[in-house]
Structures are given as structure tokens and as C-alpha cells.
């Protein structure tokens, strides 16, 4: 479970980093709070932060539930969860970099976060059903 917790901690640190980048962009481009529009590069940083918040709110409980349930039925849940979590972390980095440069190119990074989360949620459902039926 330590690997899974490491991934969660890294995801939270990554979110804090992306949030800080939004704050720095707010200062650099003089977009005063509470405004969320102004300079296009600030708006891109802000959208990266907001999308990451949306994704992390499903990812964190998803990875923890998956790791616990899948281990409970005797499958290697911690290892699979950690692997999918690494893909998620890389995907968020790819997404952030792509979105700030050219929002139209954000697709691959977005899919690298959506797919691991969806797989973990579906895997959790399967493990739960196996646990209930078995």
C-alpha cells in the first residue's frame, strides 16, 4: 500500500505545483483576484489547475478503493494501482504542458489521466462483485 500512498502524495504535490503556476501566472499577467479571465496564458494555467482538480477528485478515492478491494480478493491491486497511478501522473504533466502551449493538443494527456481512473473504477466494481458473489 505504500506505493499507492506515494502516488497519492505525488499527485497532491503535482496539484499544488500546478496551483502555484496559476498563482504565478496571475501575478505575471496582472489578473487580479477574483477575476479568472484576462490574459490567455493565465486562463490556460487556470484551466489546467481546474481540470486537475476535477480529475484528482475522482483519482484519489479511485486509486485507494481499487488498491484495497483488488488486494482483498487476492489480486495484485497495489502494484496495478501504482502502475496506473504513474501513468496518471505522467498524463497530468503531458496535459499541463500541452494545454498551456496549445489547448487543442491536450487530448493525449487527458486520456492518460481519464483511462487509468476509469480502469481503476471498473476494476473496483469487478472486485466488489467478486467479493460479494464469492
Q: Give pLDDT tens digits along the chain (134 positions).
A: 999 999 999 999 999 999 999 999 999 999 999 999 999 999 999 999 999 999 999 999 999 999 999 999 999 999 999 999 999 999 999 999 999 999 999 999 999 999 999 999 999 999 999 998 87
The CATH-assigned architecture of domain 2-133 is: Up-down Bundle (1.20)
**pTM of the entire structure?**
0.95
DSSP, res 95:
H
Note the maximum CA span of the chain: 59
List the alpha helices (DSSP H) in the chain: 2-28, 40-72, 77-101, 107-133
Distance (Å, rounded) from C-alpha 38 to C-alpha 32?
9
Amino acid at each position: 500500500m505504500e506505493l499507492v500512498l506515494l502516488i497519492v502524495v505525488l499527485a497532491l504535490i503535482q496539484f499544488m505545483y500546478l496551483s502555484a503556476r496559476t498563482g504565478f501566472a496571475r501575478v505575471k499577467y496582472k489578473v487580479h483576484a477574483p477575476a479568472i479571465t484576462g490574459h490567455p496564458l493565465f486562463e490556460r494555467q487556470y484551466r489546467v489547475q481546474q481540470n486537475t482538480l476535477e480529475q484528482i477528485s475522482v483519482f484519489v478515492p479511485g486509486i485507494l478503493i481499487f488498491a484495497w478491494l483488488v488486494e482483498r480478493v487476492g489480486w495484485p491491486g497495489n502494484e496495478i494501482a501504482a502502475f496506473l497511478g504513474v501513468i496518471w501522473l505522467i498524463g497530468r504533466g503531458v496535459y499541463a504542458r500541452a494545454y498551456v502551449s496549445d489547448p487543442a493538443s491536450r487530448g493525449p494527456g487527458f486520456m492518460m489521466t481519464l483511462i487509468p481512473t476509469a480502469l481503476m473504477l471498473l476494476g473496483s466494481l469487478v472486485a466488489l462483485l467478486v467479493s460479494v458473489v464469492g
